[in-house]
């Protein structure tokens, strides 16, 4: 073993996000400019960093989740994509995507690594681990 | 065998671990993954990082004054 790094995930590739949605059975809708949410910011939770209450409900693309009343907004900002969504219980998103939409972020990271690693000639093995998914890249 | 192991949790947390590399090649080899996925928050170097061709380099600082 040589070193261990912890990474803060950033979403920067739309095609990979689209593929990640497909892998989870979600519908990615390009150029949908609004997403369904409660419709009014109640001030009871912090806003996502870099966003104001006026930004809520607006997006560049959206993700529809089967069985959920609300949608996830995908917003492009500073060359990256941010996920905006309302986690209110009745909206159904947290139930489907986990806290912080973690399952969607996980699927994105898996897809991103697999695609790029194969392009670079790595052999990729995927297995379930105690805390999630483990990918092993070897030459 | 040289391997890069990536653990991705259900809350989207990513941990990258290089195995079987010696010296700084591990950092170079895994750089593309960090650039793909985001920002490196923390890095922990292990013994193998300080090895060159399988031999551990030990730096000794000799007290020359006092």
Give the C-alpha separation, A95 to B20, whole Å.
Answer: 40
Per-residue tens of pLDDT for chain B, all 66 residues = 888 999 999 888 899 888 887 777 777 778 888 888 988 877 777 665 555 555 555 555 555 654
- Mark yes or no for CB contact A133/B8 under 8 Å: yes
Nearest residue on chain A to B22, alpha-carbon basis: A2
**Domain membership flag for residue B44:** yes
**pLDDT tens, position by position, A69-89:** 999 999 999 999 999 999 888
**Domain membership flag for residue B24:** yes
Question: Where are the domains positioned within chain A?
Answer: 14-138
> What is the predicted ipTM?
0.84
Contact, A76 vs A85, CB < 8 A? Answer: no
| Domain interval for residue B23 | 3-56
Structural domains of chain B, count: 1
Nearest CB to B41: which of A1, A8, A122? A8
Nearest partner of A4 among B35, B8, B26, judged by Cα = B26
**pLDDT tens, position by position, A97-127:** 999 899 999 999 999 999 999 999 999 999 9
Nearest residue on chain B to A110, alpha-carbon basis: B8
**Domain membership flag for residue B61:** no
**Domain membership flag for residue B62:** no
- Mark yes or no for CB contact A4/B46 under 8 Å: yes
Give the C-alpha separation, B21 to B1, whole Å.
Answer: 8
Give the C-alpha separation, B17 to A137, whole Å.
Answer: 10
**pLDDT tens, position by position, A20-61:** 999 999 999 999 999 999 999 988 888 888 999 999 999 999
């Amino acid at each position: 073993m040589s070193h261990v790094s912890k990474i803060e995930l950033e979403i920067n590739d739309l095609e990979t996000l689209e593929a990640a949605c497909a892998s989870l059975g979600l519908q990615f809708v390009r150029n949908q400019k609004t997403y369904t949410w409660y419709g009014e910011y109640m001030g009871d939770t912090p806003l996502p960093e870099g966003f104001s209450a006026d930004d809520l409900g607006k997006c560049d693309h959206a993700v529809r989740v089967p069985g959920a009343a609300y949608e996830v907004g995908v917003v492009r900002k500073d060359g990256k994509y941010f996920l905006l969504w309302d986690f209110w219980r009745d909206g159904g998103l947290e139930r489907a995507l986990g806290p912080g939409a973690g399952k969607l972020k996980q699927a994105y990271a898996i897809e991103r690594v697999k695609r790029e690693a194969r392009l670079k000639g790595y052999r990729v093995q995927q297995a379930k681990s105690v805390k999630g998914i483990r990918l092993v890249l070897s030459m | 065998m040289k391997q890069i192991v990536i653990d991705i949790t259900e809350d989207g947390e990513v941990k990258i671990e290089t195995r079987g590399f010696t010296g700084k090649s591990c950092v170079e080899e895994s750089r593309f993954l960090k650039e793909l996925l985001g920002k490196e928050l923390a890095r922990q170097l292990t013994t193998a990082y300080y090895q060159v061709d399988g031999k551990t380099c030990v730096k000794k600082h000799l007290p020359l004054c006092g």
